[in-house]
Amino acid sequence: MAPPTWRTSTVTLADGRRMGVAEFGPPDGFPILWFHGTPGARRQVPAAAAEYAHDRGVRIIGVERPGVGKSTRHHYGRIIDFAADAEQVMDLLGIERAGLIGLSGGGPYVLAVCSAIPERIVAAAVLGGVGPSAGPEKVSGGGVIPLLRKFKPLLGVVREPVAWTMSAALKVAAPVANPVFDIYMRLGPRSDREFLARPEMREMFLDDLLAAGKESFRAVAYDAVLFSRWWGFDIAGIETPVFLWHGDTDLVIPLVHGERMAALIPNSRLSVVSGEGHLAMLDAAEEAIDLILEQVEDGETGGLRRLATDGLSPSSHHPDDRA
């Protein structure tokens, strides 16, 4: 079953745009903002993670990006621009400091918020996160993401037509959602099939996508454009403790992405999960919650813990790569 929410709502930003949120766990618990993958929406939180958060006294807040579910359509110039909206969401929800968790395409947005408002983020976790395809810190090789840069001019032109088509298709997909999911199970990456075969994961993904599709489902196209550009901040400048998980058989976002982020972020730790693919990194959510809470406790008793890392040196900066 899809995890129960104690509140699903929208918050209204200063310019009138809305952001959709779904909250799990006790309303007075320590807040962790959860940034969904691509595709995804506010309810892309596993039931086990939601239940664990409740038991640990953690308030998980799923935040929808512009163009999906209840969130107003909006085009960011760079991924860093999302951080200002995330900070407004925190203010409107009465949150002073928080942790962050991001799955896959939500990973870059986690790092953007860490970069922009480090004083308000205790620690962050990235599960199978996307690395940059452009800029001085880009990933060399590694699946489809680096290819986006080659199509950058076209992506900007077709963004809205593609976004409209995807949104319209999902609105009428409910009657055939289960058969389509079964087809993906047969044709999708072998490494994720066992994970998606779990009834609770199937229910969570279908519930999340279909609920969002009733309203809007444009964020996939918006993400693709932003992933093709320089993110707008220096990853190596992030000081927030960042925990990363990545499967060594991930065919969607290969391990090189996680390795690159761990090499760049000074206070980070990468856990390589042997024999696992992309979506299975959601199994690390409970551990991520624990590690974030440990950083909260450290902060209350004298400062944040430095994480052990074997990171490599970041690449040299080339201004003409910032595109």
Confidence of residue 171 (pLDDT cuts 50, 70, 90): low
pLDDT (mean) for 77-101: 98
Work out how many domains the chain is built from and give that number.
Answer: 1
Of 39-43, 152-156, 158-162, 299-303, where does the model show the most confidence?
Answer: 39-43
| CA dihedral angle for residue 46, residue 49, residue 52, residue 53, rounded to 10 degrees | -110
Structure confidence at residue 290 (pLDDT): 97
In the predicted model, is pLDDT for residue 231 greater than 70?
A: yes
φ/ψ of residue 284, rounded to 5: -85, 0
Structure confidence at residue 314 (pLDDT): 35
- Per-residue b/e over 291-312, b at no fewer than 16 CB within 10 Å? bbbebbebeeeeebeebebebe
How does pLDDT run across 255-304, given as a tens digit for each residue? 999 999 999 999 999 999 999 999 999 999 999 999 999 999 876 644 44
Distances (CA, A) of 255 to 30, 169, 271: 31, 32, 11
Is 315 inside a domain boundary? no
Is 320 inside a domain boundary? no
Structure confidence at residue 6 (pLDDT): 74
Indicate the range of 78-87, 113-122, 203-212, 279-288 predicted with least confidence.
Answer: 203-212
Is 316 inside a domain boundary? no
Confidence of residue 117 (pLDDT cuts 50, 70, 90): very high
Confidence of residue 177 (pLDDT cuts 50, 70, 90): low
Structure confidence at residue 25 (pLDDT): 93
Structure confidence at residue 71 (pLDDT): 95
Structure confidence at residue 312 (pLDDT): 36
Is 313 inside a domain boundary? no
**145 compared with 71, residue with greater pLDDT:** 71
What is the C-alpha to C-alpha distance for residues 139 and 272, in angstroms, rounded to an integer? 17
Distances (CA, A) of 289 to 45, 58, 190, 296: 13, 8, 28, 11
pLDDT (mean) for 109-134: 97
pLDDT (mean) for 85-106: 97
**204 compared with 236, residue with greater pLDDT:** 236
**168 compared with 303, residue with greater pLDDT:** 168
CB 39 within 8 Å of CB 58: no
Is 126 inside a domain boundary? yes
- Residue span of the structural domain in which 233 resides: 7-301
How does pLDDT run across 206-222, given as a tens digit for each residue? 888 777 777 777 778 88
What is the C-alpha to C-alpha distance for residues 102 and 70, in angstroms, rounded to an integer? 19
Confidence of residue 305 (pLDDT cuts 50, 70, 90): low
CA 100, chain centre distance (Å): 9
Indicate the range of 6-10, 57-61, 317-321 predicted with least confidence.
Answer: 317-321
Is 312 inside a domain boundary? no
pLDDT (mean) for 306-317: 42
| CATH number reported for the structural domain that contains residue 263 in this entry | 3.40.50.1820
What is the C-alpha to C-alpha distance for residues 73 and 167, in angstroms, rounded to an integer? 12
**303 compared with 100, residue with greater pLDDT:** 100
Is 28 inside a domain boundary? yes
Is 321 inside a domain boundary? no
